[in-house]
Amino acid sequence: MARLPMCSSFKKILCFLTALLLVICAAGCTDHTNDPEVPSGSTQEESTVAASDQSFEDVVIASDGKTDFTIWLAQEFYSDADIKDKIETLKSGVKNLTGATLSVKSDRSAGDADLQKPGILIGPTSFAETQTIETVLRTKDFKIGYSGNKILVYATSKAGGLNAISYFYNHVIIGQKVIDKTLLFTTDHIYSSHYKYGIDSIVCCDTELSEYRIVIPENATVNETLLANNLRYYLYENYGYDFEIVSDATPATDREILIGNTARSDETVTDHRFTVSAKDQKLQLSADGMLAYEALSDYVENTFLASGSQKAYTIQNGFSYTATAETSLTDGTLFATESHGDIRIVFYNVYGYSGTCGEATVRQPLQKEIVSSYHPDVLGCQEYSAAYHASFTSMLKSLGYSEVETTAGTSNYTPLFYNADKLEVVKSGYFLYSGPNDVNSKSVTWAVFCEKESGKQVAVFNTHFMYNQSGIDGNAARISNAYEILELIQGVKNSYPNISVIMGGDLNSKVSSEPHGVLRSDGLKAAWEKAETKNDSSGHHDYATYDRSLGIYTDWKEISTTHTSAIDHVYVSENTSVKSYATLSNLYALWTSDHMPVLLEIDLP
């Protein structure tokens, strides 16, 4: 399970140091909303500067090339690159002003002797001074204080830590007038910062939601895991609390957010619906399938717990809301609930590599949900790498698909899969294009299928044309690809004169280009133009951004261009009746590849 940076638990350590005054956040308020050191994204900060009830003498951090202080980082901060970069800037500031070099260590390396020496404690360290802080800080909050011989730069999360270090650098290090190369920490530096979150309070069944934890099934589906991770991140950013995620194999507690079909859930949903309910300090979120989970996430973030202007929510015991995921022709989700033809075929460039949108193993379970939701009778994939053959094939087989066998084996980057309950293979083949061909991925897999119930036949050709790259005339290569596949199609038509022909895949070219002219010259028709029902979308876009540490997608591009800009296409024979054509662009599709699946529904002649 991907996790956000977690703070150490607040242990009460009895030590002589706990008797020393922790001088943090007493009284007196000053508005510092526009402090220049506050990182971007923290423009709504509300800050409190507190003068100490009990004065202390100014503390010398460093003077004339010497210092008695060591920077001690909480281990989770010590291992974070962004935090370490901030610390290096802080060290440089001290070095430039005083000539002294501060050493930086993890709190895990501190010995008994270190506990007695002066130190700058950053984050929720294991030192007694930070362990005994009782004030609850949210994710972006922080405190600057002094206890015994320790300067405290305290925050419980990475976001708060970055804010705290920035403030300490700007106000304590370079924000004071240094005399005789002597850097001081004074009572004027005592500071407490509290961020104005979009959600100030969520009271669920008479208890603040911050006291809850998130629970998922022990063998959680990708839908359940992703919803839990997204919910955690959403609450982290907008509510200011970091929720623990556990499986239902752990002992139950009094207050839990139950995601999906846990052993402790009592909600059952079907037919693409989702539900949110609250009962006896259990908040339950459940859904049926990919589209319903997408709709549930949208409902929670934009309606149920929408962020903005420090909103306060009260979820009453007995609350319940159920809705059905909306579907649309615009994004193709309509075809998750409706069928318009005898045969459904999907062509899908799955992007069988690792990149910004996640490793193949991250994306494959989501892509399995796409296939499961639309359930085509025939599935043609492109960029189906060896990694996909190794694991995704078994996922497809678990959904009832068989693969058209070819001699290419795991070198077949354009495989065909089919619903063996409905179709059987009459004849099949594989062809590797001549000319330029990166990793032998530009190829054709084809099959003549017979529908078992009607005995009608259809020929499907799944392909990937060459793309533009340095030193290669991509357009000329695609023209050659077009002529070669036409020859293959003609060979099949000679054996099956009246058969319906479907040819599709990633053609790496727009419909107005020369390779498409070649395809149309032999009687093939653009399926999009023939379709009775269709949407108008290009289907190709930039890669989404997957955050491995959070286990969620944080950035993706909506498709804004039309079919005229598409590079994934389907062509059909004149005798083929095209009922539907859609580019599928729901969230899972937008996240997991730079190509959207193309769905085609036909009636067999």
246-267 pLDDT, tens digit per residue, is: 999 999 999 999 999 999 998 8
Q: What average pLDDT is seen over the chain?
A: 90
The answer to whether residue 488 scores a pLDDT higher than 50 is yes
- Whole-model pTM: value is 0.85
Confidence tier at 7 by pLDDT (50, 70, 90): very low
CA gap 507, 162 in Å, rounded: 47
CA gap 462, 440 in Å, rounded: 15
> At a CB cut-off of 8 Å and minimum separation 6, what does 98 contact?
61, 62, 63, 64, 65, 67, 178, 181, 182, 183
CA gap 215, 227 in Å, rounded: 11
Of the candidates 379, 363, 383, 359, the residue with the CA atom closest to the CA atom of residue 371: 379
Distance of CA 94 to the CA centre of its chain: 39
The answer to whether residue 28 scores a pLDDT higher than 70 is no
| Residue-wise pLDDT tens digits, 422-446 | 999 999 999 999 989 999 999 999 9
The answer to whether residue 268 scores a pLDDT higher than 60 is yes
Q: Establish whether domains 16-195 and 333-603 are of one fold.
A: no
Q: Which amino acid is at 327?
A: T
CA gap 217, 66 in Å, rounded: 55
Range 421-426 contact pairs with CB under 8 angstroms and sequence separation of 24 or more: 421/452, 422/377, 422/451, 422/452, 422/453, 423/377, 423/378, 423/449, 423/450, 423/451, 423/452, 424/449, 424/450, 424/452, 425/449, 425/450, 426/450, 426/457
| Residue-wise pLDDT tens digits, 91-129 | 999 999 999 999 999 999 999 999 999 999 999 999 999
Architecture of domain 199-324: 2-Layer Sandwich (3.30)
Of the candidates 465, 470, 446, the residue with the CA atom closest to the CA atom of residue 511: 465
Confidence tier at 55 by pLDDT (50, 70, 90): low
Domain map (residue ranges) of the chain: 16-195, 199-324, 333-603
CA gap 287, 261 in Å, rounded: 9
The answer to whether residue 417 scores a pLDDT higher than 90 is yes
% of the chain exceeding 70 in pLDDT = 91
CA gap 431, 490 in Å, rounded: 14
Architecture of domain 333-603: 4-Layer Sandwich (3.60)
Look at residue 371 and give its three-state secondary structure.
helix
Distance of CA 416 to the CA centre of its chain: 29
| Residue-wise pLDDT tens digits, 162-206 | 999 999 999 999 999 999 999 999 999 999 999 999 999 999 999
Sign of CA dihedral 173, 174, 176, 179: positive
Query: pLDDT at position 29, please?
Result: 32
Number of other residues whose CB lies within 10 A of the CB of residue 82: 12
CATH class of 16-195: alpha beta
Of the candidates 446, 486, 491, 487, the residue with the CA atom closest to the CA atom of residue 345: 446
Strands 457-464 and 500-506: parallel
Of the candidates 137, 139, 144, the residue with the CA atom closest to the CA atom of residue 157: 139
Count CA atoms within 13 Å of residue 204 on its CB side: 23
Residue carrying structure tokens 């007995």 = 318
| Residue-wise pLDDT tens digits, 389-408 | 999 999 999 999 999 999 99
The answer to whether residue 19 scores a pLDDT higher than 60 is no
Average pLDDT over residues 19-24: 34
The answer to whether residue 43 scores a pLDDT higher than 80 is no
Average pLDDT over residues 17-44: 36
The answer to whether residue 31 scores a pLDDT higher than 50 is no
CA gap 588, 143 in Å, rounded: 40
Tokens of 90: 């802080």
Tokens of 382: 């492109």
